[in-house]
Structure formats: C-alpha cells, structure tokens
Structure 1
Amino acid sequence: MKIIYVICFACLLLFGCKSSKETINLKTGKDFKETWYCKDFEIDSLPGISLDKWYRQNKKKAKKTIIVAVIDTQIDKNHQDLQDEIWLNTKEIANNNLDDDQNGYVDDIQGWNFTAKKDSYIVWGNFEYVRLVREFQNKFENQTETTVSKDDLFYYKEYLRAKKKLEEESSYYKTRLKSLKYSINIFPIAKDSLRHYFPKEDYTYEQLDSLYKIHKINDKTFRQRRENNDRDLGAMIGFLMFRLESNEQTLTEVIESKIQTDSIVNKNLNINFDERKFIGDNPNILEKGYGSKNITISKEGHRSFQDHNTKVSGIIAAKRNNNLGIKGIAENVKIMPLTISFSGDEHDKDIAMAVYYAVDNGAKVINMSFIKEFSLRQQWVSEAFKYAEKHNVLLVHAAGNESFDIDKNPTYPSDNNFDGSAEICNNFINVGSISTRLNTTFVSDFSNYGKENVDLFAPGEEIYTTAAGNTYKFDSGTSLAAPMVSGTAALIWSYYPNLTATEVKQIILDSGTPYNLEVIVPGTKDKKVPFSELSKSGKVLNVYNAMKLAKEVNNKKK
C-alpha cells in the first residue's frame, strides 16, 4: 500500500502519508496551524479550501445524509470525533451469524474487512509486482517480444517491468538489512567509545563534527585513544553522526527498523510468501462473503499505517459541533469503513469488491487513498468503476506520493488503461497535494502530478486530523488531499441531492482556485513550470466556490 504504507513506512520506508519536516509558513496562532487548509486566500492569505468562509455564510440546513465509503485500513471507530459518524447497517442484526439483509456479508454492521479472517487480519503482504512475477514467470521467463502472442504482449512487458522492479527493491532492502544488523552490533561500541567525551551521551551533530575535525589534529588524548584502541574512534564518530541524520537515532529505533526491513525482505518482496492463503478465498474469481466484520483497530493496532483510515475519515466527517479536536468538512455524512489495505499492495479483487459493496449499500462517494505501480487484474477494478458510474457514485483517489508524472508512469487504481484508449469512466477524480507556501514549492515535493491524469490539487501538507487511539496528529501526503475532495462532494450532495456524479465532479473541477505561480516540478531540483500545467484543471479545491456553483447548476435543472 504505497500511499499508506510505503510512504508512512520509509518515511518509514516506503500506503498517504509522507511526513514533512519543513516548517509551515503560517500566521501565528494554533488555530491557523491546525486549520490552515480550511482558510481562504483572500481573507487569510493562505491557500486553503475556503471551508470556514462557506460555513460562516451558510444559514441553511442540509437536506440529506450522505454515505462516504473509505476504502483503506482498519479504523478507530471509537474515536471521540468519529464514533457517531460511522455508518450503521440498520438491515443487519449484530452478531447473530446470519446475513439478515441478504447482501452476501454476515454481520456487516459497520462495513467490511476484506483482508481478515474472523478476528485476525493480514499485517504483511506482497507488493503487486511480486505477485505479477509469480503469476507469469513460468509463462514468460524464456520468451521474447517476438515469441509471445499479440494478446500476451502487454502482460509480457508488465512482467519484465515487474521483474526489474523486484530485483532492484530486493537488492536495496537486503543491503539495508545487512547495514541495520551491523548498526545494532556497533551501536553500543560507538557509545562506549565516546563516553570519555560525553558521559551523559548528550552530544549533538555539531559537537561530533567539531570533535572529529578539530581534535583529531590537535588533541593528543584523542590521537592516543585512537592509536591505542582497536576501535577506530573516527569511524565511531562518523557512525553516530550518520545515526543523528537518519530516522533511527537510538538503538531501539534501529532495532525496530531492522524488524520492519526483515519483514519487507521476507514477506513484501518474497515470491514464495502468499498472504492470500490466510484468507481462504479463491483469488481467481470475484465473490462475496470472504473476509470479516472486524473493521476497527485492535488494542494492539499500534503500527503507523493502521491509523490511516482514521486520519482520512476525520478530514471528511469529524464532528463539527462537539468542541473537540477538528471539524470535518461535511456535517451530514456517515463513514462506511471498508478495509483492504495492509503493509504491501492492495489486491485488485479486494478493491473491486469493496467498490461493489459501497455502491450496493448506499455510498455516494468512495474515497481511495492508496496507490500501486502495477495492476495484475485491472479489468476487475475497471468494471467495478463502471458499475459505480452507472449507479451515480463518485470515485475520489489520491494521486500518490512518488513525485511521478503519472501521465508517463502508470499508477493504479486509475480511470486510465495506459494504452492510449479512452478513459474508463467519467466519475473519477485524482487529487494531488499542495502546501501553504505561495512560492516555487507550492506543490508538495512528494506529490504525483500529470496534465491528463491528475484532476486538481488540494491541501496535503501538515494536515491536523484524527488518529488512532483517540488522538490527533499532523501528517502529510496526497492521502490527506483526497478526502478534502470527498468531503466536498458529500457536502454538495447533502444540499443538492439531485445532481449527478458527473455534475459533481465537473463542479469541483470548474470551481477550483487558479494560482498564477511558477512551481518546481516534483522530483526535480529546479525545473519550473506554471502551476496550471501539473493537473487537468490547473486548480486547487475551493469549497465556497463549489457550493456556489452547485447551487447554480441545481437551479438550472429545476
């Protein structure tokens, strides 16, 4: 799960979210830092979505409650800001082991977990390119472009691309694992070597740097210690300086990274590890009923990627009138949690079945804050997207955090076949991330972009939102930009329920705010282009303008 996991994890390692270390250029005051994305450019000089402006001026009550399906990780459904905002399946009787509403899922009171079996759930799974290699290696290993059939050519090329990716990633993480094992062994030795200079181990990077540069030349004690000791003191200093620069500054953090990296090597990247066997379903067919009703985080659910859904859902639906934490974008909204994400890439089967579930059980908006670079069974997902379009459901997707031009680098799920054919559907919005900085770094340096395949941008840096364990955190990533759009779509529909999904999409794109800025293209050092060239609309989400335009479009339909 690259937005959720790969970013949260390398920031950790690689599932939404990418933590930014840059200081936000905000007006003073806690409110501005925690709610900057709600502000208005003309009023507050901040490139927010003008949400506060709309709520200050709106005097009417919403007409309808809108269900937003969040296809993601498990959720903290007991969070104080979300517990009253979780969808309830009133047609199902809780815990009677019967499918009361005959929808194909037993005891699905508040959604469904497609990656679980009873009360246990998948934590680690393959990346999609590993599955793709496993699927096609026997068929394509000794083939060439001239020997494969025309029908197989696309998957043959995908197999080669996946194989190259697997080789590169395996090499990197195996080397990293060796380095971490070495670091665990050397850490206490390095600390002991410097105890003469820092008895309390309270050194800074600058102090270590000065010790190495100055004392290695002038201090006889230093030279003596180095000459009389089999430990290379200079190397020990360099090691600790490196640790201070990294995200693993303590022995405990290094050990944790080693454990995580070991799982990446032996599970995420292991062609012989197949997490699907745990579920017990048939991975080759679309079917209802596999999985579990268990959609909430367990007491042991402490890993960073497991609170991703909680963060996403808070932006959409956190209670606005309880004077706690944050205020969600929409008031009349219920979150339908659908779990498909774990440490690894989501299965196309789970994506498709979650979309079908959401549509069949009344969702109007589906938020998908996850991404992967390969798709083994894209056709399943494409058909589910068309099904959602047919039933007037809007799909909102995070563009991803790889600094890719996704017009050139395929990313999934998508409304694009990446083969030159027409878009799959007209109800799909892909969302990139912007910051508070009204300069060349306006577009988040991690955000994917694309004049054809990213529709618009929304705030996604240093967003304060709900988190697991009844907490609140700042986080960054296109994972947090997408729910800004999902919440806006829900808000529009709660007031103007007769609009179609295509109309809501066009309203959101047309009503965005343009910014006349030259920005650095993500993934480059200094290549600059007009901001308008990085997405189809060339705009940033604006709730106030969207609600105003929605009213106009709705009135014309009467």
Structure 2
Amino acid sequence: MNSLNKILYTLAIFALPLISFAQSAEDESPVANWQNLDLKSDGVFGISTERAYKEILKGKRSSPIIVAVIDGGIDTEHEDLKKVLWINQKEIPGNGIDDDKNGYIDDIHGWNFIGSPKANIHYDNMEVIRLINKLQPKYASALNSTPFTEEERKEFQTYKKLVTDYMAKLQSAQIGLQNTTMIKKYLDEILAKMGKDNPTADDFGDYKAANDVESQVVKFIKPELKKRDFKKFYDELKDGIKYYDTQVKYHLNVDFDPRKDSVGDDYANSNERYYGNNNVKGPDAEHGTHVAGIVGAIRSNDLGIKGVADNVKIMAIRTVPDGDERDKDVANSIRYAVDNGAKILNMSFGKAYAWDKKVVDEAVRHAISKGVLLVHAAGNDGKNTEKEDNFPNRLFSDSTGVTMGTAQGWIEVGASGWKNDEELVASFSNYGGKTVDVFAPGVKINSTMPGSTYKENDGTSMAAPVVSGLAAMIWSHYPHFTAVQIKDIIMNSVVKVDQKVKIKEEGDSKKVLLSEISVSGGIVNAYNALQLAEKTNSTARVKSK
C-alpha cells in the first residue's frame, strides 16, 4: 500500500490550534526521470540508468527476462506497457480452454487470484481483522484468569494484542475521516463565498474568515499552496477522505468479508491452487500499473516515461486487493510466476500479520529452488523491521516462529529520495540493519497509470520495481548468472553514503549511518552494477579456461 502524502496525515490530525509542519524534500519536485539519472552529472541521487545504457550497454545485445509483477492488477492496454507484456504462447486467447494444461484457462498475460468467473475482489480487510474473527469465538469472553493450556495462553495473548491494535487503527481512521470531511466541508463553503474554483495563496490571504474554524483552515492552506496549486491540494484532500472512508468501511470492518461471494474457493484449504480468472486488470489497477511502468515501460517510444529495464516481459499477477493480501493468494501467485517462466518476482506489498506463513514459505522455497530472484518492498510505516514484523519476508519459520533458514535469493528494498542530504531516506520507509538490503528511489516517482496516463507516487512500492528493473537489466545481458549472483552484484555495487540520515525510532527523530539501517549501506546503482557484472563475467571466463 502507498504511503499517504504528508498533507493527508496533517489533515487527518487536524485540530485547534493548528498543527504545522516544516517543509521537507518530499514536498518539493525533482526533475523528470530522476530515478534513472546520475548523482554526479545530474545532481539527483538516481541509479545512473541512463549513464549505464549510454556508456556501457550501447550496441550490446540482450535476452528478454520475464518479470512477474505480483500486485493489484495491470492495465494491459497502456500505451507504454502493452508491447512489453508477457504473452503465454501456449494458450489460445478466448477459447475457454486450458490449452497448455497448467490449470488456468486463457491465462494470456498472467492470472488473477482474487476473482472468479462471477466477480472480482476490490476491497478486503486488513489481516488483523481476519485473525480477530478467527480467534474471537474462543477468546472474546476469556479472562486472564481463565485456565488455558500453554498454547492457548499464547494464542489468547495474541488475540488481546490484535484487538488493541485494531482499536487503535479504527480510532485513527474514524478521526481521520471525521477531520478530513470537516475540512472539506468548511473549505467548500469558503470557495463558494470566494466565487473561485482555483484560488491562490493570495486569495486566501485576502479572505475574511467567518469563524475560528474557517480561520484555521485558511492558515493551514496558505503555506500549502506555496508547494502545489489548489487543484492538486484539493485532489489530495479528496484522496484523504476516500482513504479513511475505505479503512472504516472495508479494511477495519469486522463484518465485511468479500471472499466467499467473489472467489468461491475453499479458503480453509491453503493448498488449493486452481481458482481465479484471467482478468489481470481488475477493478483497481492503479498500483500495479504504476509498479509495472517503473520496471519496464518502453524506453524508446517517446511516450510517457522510461522504465529501468529495456528488455523485459512483464507477467501480470493480480493478488493484492485494496486491503491486505491473503497468504494463500500470495503463495499461489509465486508458484504461478515461477512455473510459467518468471525469473524476477516484484512484490510491492506487505502487512504486519500473517495468516499462514508456512504456505508462503513453501512457495518461496519453490522459487528459490528454481533460481528465481524475489524483490520485496520493505514497507511504509517508518519502522525498524528488525523489531516490527513485516510479511512476507525471507525468514523460514516453524510453527512456533523459530527461524529455520533464509531465502538467499531475496532483496528487501527501502525507499530513498533524490537529495544527497540528511533526508535521503524517505520519511515513510521502513529500515533495518539486518532486514533491509538496499535503498532505491521511491519518492515522487512518475510512472504509468490506467488509461494511458501518468502520475507521481511515493512508497517502497516504487523502490522495489526500481531494483527489479535493475536486476532484469543485468540478467538480460548476463543470462547465465544465478539469482544469488545478481543479488550479490546489486548489493556490492551500491553507492555508499557517508553522511548520516534522518529516521524516526519510537517516535523520536535521530540521525544514523545508512550502514546502520541496511545491509549494504547504500543506494543501488546501475552503472556500478554493470561494471561489476562484466568484471564477474570476465573472472568466470578466466577460471573456466
């Protein structure tokens, strides 16, 4: 899930007196295509993609690499994507027959695991709600003094933690919805009195507030209009209302369950494989389309944007609703991608709780055994994932949570901005000295959106496909490398960061070295990676003689 723009957070906690925020780098705008530019020559902390193509890869041949975008859906008709989509050549489109006998009918560009021939899931709960509903019949009336077995006692403690977390999230969402709705109401009244639909900061400065609330709204809006025009501000306000309304109605609604009527699978059976439909776009393809464009939007068509990789086939797998993804669907998506030839899996999703970690672990093991590289977004909670759970992850666990191994072909990605200063790490990005491998551009990334449109988004969801694109870029030129070799090249070619960067830890701001909050201590870099790849390849040739 994308992080909300900081303005929405401000609006969500709006109260009297007004709470103000200092402007940060995330309020400004970078140059176009910044994620692919070079720090030294262009002045922004991109990954030097353009330099790599110009100075290293020009005139060199490559082989196509299949990248599976496991996400919320992709607009397969997008002008910048339709020519780079994976096509299942063994399947005859639209004949209603499973021609390749892989268990999925008419899977031309991929598969949708959150739908059926009857319907598609749009919204779903957060995992905390599903777990509460699972445990509530047994523990809702229990007390600390209730006699339990050791296993039941542990489960009861988990239930209490879930309920506490849920209540805090629900209260925050309800307050956010109430306050954003209130601000829009008063703002609309102010606009009507002004008689303007696109006022400036000066217009608000000249406005005579009718009451204290109007005065506070005006005081808040005036500095915001120095960073963006009013229409963009107003759209963000409406997005905020929609965001919190969705949380209250769906994500955090214990009575909402879309699964039975929309998918019709046996949800209790995590090993069930064959369900869903071939509608890989679904009802809301914004997130997945944006991610796909970052990986491999056509670089040579003079349209829209430039993806990182120039020789990819993007496999569309619809897995993530507006809400938390389900472990069964994630596991099946990984297996589908691997079994149908994907070499890189981009997973720009995550959650705080797991329903069935075992089934996901088994799918990840399957991917690793087939030489596939998994690239996962670290999450947008601004937390240390060494201390806070984030699923899925590279750790294989037994039923008690004890780690039983690690997925070596896994890259965990945090988000960075374009300025080489103390705000380099995005304020929303998760981090972890042992849990986050690298950082990559994830702030104000312009990419593809449904309807052949384009938009800037923030998130580790945007940083992960930068790395997936980089991996594809390397692998397409060195197809004999293993997944672990590709990972090692990416990790060992980062641009190290000397200065300290700001993070939030337990509510307090502090400055740390990037090496303290990531394994590699740097930002991925395509130019360095291609140089190291060629050196690795040359060394291997010498040794083979």
Query: Is 1:455 the equivalent of 2:453?
Result: no
Deviations 1:345-388 (A, max 9, x none): 00011110000000000000000011111111111111111110
1:474/1:279 CA distance change after superposition, 3 Å: same
Q: 1:348-367, aligned counterparts within 5 Å?
A: 348-367=327-346
Aligned mate of 2:478, from 496, 503, 512 = 496
Q: Give the letter for the 1:457 counterpart.
A: F
Aligned mate of 1:310, from 265, 289, 292 = 289
**Structure 1 unaligned spans of 5+:** 27-32, 213-221, 223-231
Aligned mate of 1:279, from 243, 251, 263 = 263
Q: Secondary structure at the match of 1:392?
A: coil
Aligned mate of 2:28, from 9, 23, 37 = 23
Q: Give the letter for the 2:167 counterpart.
A: E
Query: Is 1:108 the equivalent of 2:91?
Result: no
Query: Is 1:174 the equivalent of 2:174?
Result: yes
In the alignment, the residues of structure 2 paired with residue 367 and residue 315 of structure 1 have an alpha-carbon distance, to the nearest angstrom, of: 11
Q: Give the letter for the 1:22 counterpart.
A: D
Q: Give the letter for the 2:306 counterpart.
A: K
**Structure 2 unaligned spans of 5+:** 14-23, 225-229
Deviation at 1:334, TM superposition (A): 0.3
Aligned mate of 2:378, from 382, 388, 399 = 399
**Residues 205, 222 of structure 2: 8 Å contact kept:** no
Query: Is 1:439 the equivalent of 2:421?
Result: yes
In the alignment, the residues of structure 2 paired with residue 319 and residue 239 of structure 1 have an alpha-carbon distance, to the nearest angstrom, of: 43
In the alignment, the residues of structure 2 paired with residue 333 and residue 86 of structure 1 have an alpha-carbon distance, to the nearest angstrom, of: 8
Query: 2:17 — aligned with what?
Result: none
Q: Give the letter for the 1:42 counterpart.
A: K
**Greater Cα offset, 380-389 or 458-467:** 458-467
In the alignment, the residues of structure 2 paired with residue 394 and residue 154 of structure 1 have an alpha-carbon distance, to the nearest angstrom, of: 35
In the alignment, the residues of structure 2 paired with residue 118 and residue 48 of structure 1 have an alpha-carbon distance, to the nearest angstrom, of: 43
Query: 1:227 — aligned with what?
Result: none
Q: Give the letter for the 1:171 counterpart.
A: Q
Deviation at 1:253, TM superposition (A): 8.0
Query: 2:165 — aligned with what?
Result: 165
Query: 2:92 — aligned with what?
Result: 93
1:512/1:258 CA distance change after superposition, 3 Å: closer
Query: 1:294 — aligned with what?
Result: 279
Query: 1:382 — aligned with what?
Result: 361
Query: 1:218 — aligned with what?
Result: none
In the alignment, the residues of structure 2 paired with residue 96 and residue 47 of structure 1 have an alpha-carbon distance, to the nearest angstrom, of: 49
Deviation at 1:254, TM superposition (A): 6.9
In the alignment, the residues of structure 2 paired with residue 183 and residue 243 of structure 1 have an alpha-carbon distance, to the nearest angstrom, of: 10
In the alignment, the residues of structure 2 paired with residue 7 and residue 344 of structure 1 have an alpha-carbon distance, to the nearest angstrom, of: 18
In the alignment, the residues of structure 2 paired with residue 248 and residue 233 of structure 1 have an alpha-carbon distance, to the nearest angstrom, of: 24
In the alignment, the residues of structure 1 paired with residue 33 and residue 242 of structure 2 have an alpha-carbon distance, to the nearest angstrom, of: 36
1:154/1:87 CA distance change after superposition, 3 Å: farther
**Residues 457, 540 of structure 1: 8 Å contact kept:** yes
Query: Is 1:319 the equivalent of 2:298?
Result: yes
Aligned mate of 1:238, from 212, 216, 238 = 216
In the alignment, the residues of structure 2 paired with residue 104 and residue 281 of structure 1 have an alpha-carbon distance, to the nearest angstrom, of: 14
Deviation at 1:421, TM superposition (A): 2.4
Deviation at 1:119, TM superposition (A): 6.5
Percent identity over the alignment? 35
Query: 1:217 — aligned with what?
Result: none
Q: 1:137-176, aligned counterparts within 5 Å?
A: 137-141=136-140, 142=142, 144=144, 147-151=147-151, 155-176=155-176
In the alignment, the residues of structure 2 paired with residue 470 and residue 500 of structure 1 have an alpha-carbon distance, to the nearest angstrom, of: 35
1:379/1:147 CA distance change after superposition, 3 Å: farther
In the alignment, the residues of structure 2 paired with residue 252 and residue 553 of structure 1 have an alpha-carbon distance, to the nearest angstrom, of: 49
Deviation at 1:178, TM superposition (A): 4.5
**Residues 12, 177 of structure 2: 8 Å contact kept:** no
**Residues 442, 459 of structure 2: 8 Å contact kept:** yes
Deviation at 1:127, TM superposition (A): 0.5
In the alignment, the residues of structure 1 paired with residue 95 and residue 327 of structure 2 have an alpha-carbon distance, to the nearest angstrom, of: 30
1:555/1:255 CA distance change after superposition, 3 Å: closer
In the alignment, the residues of structure 2 paired with residue 290 and residue 315 of structure 1 have an alpha-carbon distance, to the nearest angstrom, of: 29
**Residues 3, 380 of structure 2: 8 Å contact kept:** no
**Residues 70, 319 of structure 2: 8 Å contact kept:** yes
Deviations 1:404-429 (A, max 9, x none): 11111111111136856254311111
Aligned mate of 1:346, from 309, 325, 332 = 325
Q: Secondary structure at the match of 1:117?
A: coil
**Residues 507, 549 of structure 1: 8 Å contact kept:** yes
**Greater Cα offset, 357-366 or 439-448:** 439-448
**Residues 417, 442 of structure 2: 8 Å contact kept:** yes
**Greater Cα offset, 39-48 or 361-370:** 39-48
Q: Secondary structure at the match of 2:406?
A: coil
**Residues 7, 401 of structure 1: 8 Å contact kept:** no
**Residues 432, 518 of structure 2: 8 Å contact kept:** yes
Query: 1:541 — aligned with what?
Result: 524
Deviation at 1:392, TM superposition (A): 0.5
In the alignment, the residues of structure 1 paired with residue 12 and residue 117 of structure 2 have an alpha-carbon distance, to the nearest angstrom, of: 29
**Residues 69, 292 of structure 2: 8 Å contact kept:** yes
Q: Give the letter for the 1:390 counterpart.
A: S
Q: Give the letter for the 1:552 counterpart.
A: K
